[in-house]
Amino acid sequence: MQLTQSSVGRKIIMAVTGIVLVAFVCVHLLGNSSVFVGANAINAYAEKLHSLGPFVWVFRLVMLAAFAIHIIFGIQLTLENRAATPERNVQIKRLKTGFGAETMIVSGLVLLAFVIYHLLHFTVRVTNPDIYVPLGDQGMVDVYVMVVKGFKSALPVILYLVGMSFLFLHVSHGFQSLFQTLGLSNDKSLPVMETVSKLVGVVLLVGYISIPLLVVFGLIKI
């Protein structure tokens, strides 16, 4: 299929915003890993972040813009692709590109739903009033207690496991795809990039799901 100039431009912007989002999920996982060290470690990390004041809001605005652009262009490109793909070629295309590639729009939209739920759960803190315990007199919340109590009921654990599975699906295709879009991989390096991409997906999946699972199995506890 012939790509128009504007859709090439949008694909490049999706690749660049994709890099920003992957960098965020990697750094966020590193920060969250302080929960394995203990309550003081994750609370000190949260306090450090909040002490950055206005920079936190600049960072949030940049992330929000990257996320919004990535989603809007993703939806536009999917609709354009669908309009340009004759029905009889759909089966052939599916065989050539694979499950991860064909479900990018679905995994992306599930991730959007997950992020909205996650923000209500741990940032806006409205879903489970019983898990938010104050820490100190600076309006902080005990993040360690919030995370442990937050994974004490089945529904959040299931929603996080589902969310992380879709994160795996999305990143393990998207990461290698962005290198292709930016012209940084060729036929020779493509298989390597595909493996690296899957590896990044697996590290994120295992890293993130280990937090709720270790709480469920009582290895991270209050």
Which of 92/202 has CB closer to ligand HEM?
A: 202
> Which range in 8-16, 69-77, 89-97, 110-118 contacts ligand HEM by CB under 6 A?
110-118
Does 200 bind ligand HEM (CB under 6 A)? Our answer is no
CB 191 within 8 A of CB 28: no
Residue nearest ligand HEM, Cβ-based: 46
For ligand HEM, the closer CB: 101 or 115: 115
Tell me which of 66, 110, 167, 171 binds ligand HEM, using CB under 6 A: 167
Pick one of 11, 212, 215, 220: the residue that binds ligand HEM (CB under 6 A): 212
Q: Which residues contact 96 (CB under 8 A, 6 or more apart)?
A: none
Q: Does 118 engage in binding with ligand HEM (CB under 6 A)?
A: yes
Q: Cβ of residue 67: shortest distance to ligand HEM, in angstroms?
A: 8
Of the listed pieces 72-80, 87-95, 117-125, 175-183, which binds ligand HEM according to CB under 6 A?
117-125
Cα–Cα distance between 49 and 192 in angstroms, integer? 36
CA 34 – CA 48 distance, rounded (Å): 13
The answer to whether residue 115 forms part of the interface with ligand HEM (CB under 6 A) is yes
51 binds ligand HEM (CB under 6 A): no
Which of 71-79, 88-96, 190-198, 205-213 is the region at the interface with ligand HEM (rule: CB under 6 A)? 205-213
**Interface residue list for ligand HEM (CB under 6 A):** 25, 28, 32, 46, 60, 111, 115, 118-119, 122-123, 143, 147, 160, 167, 208, 211-212
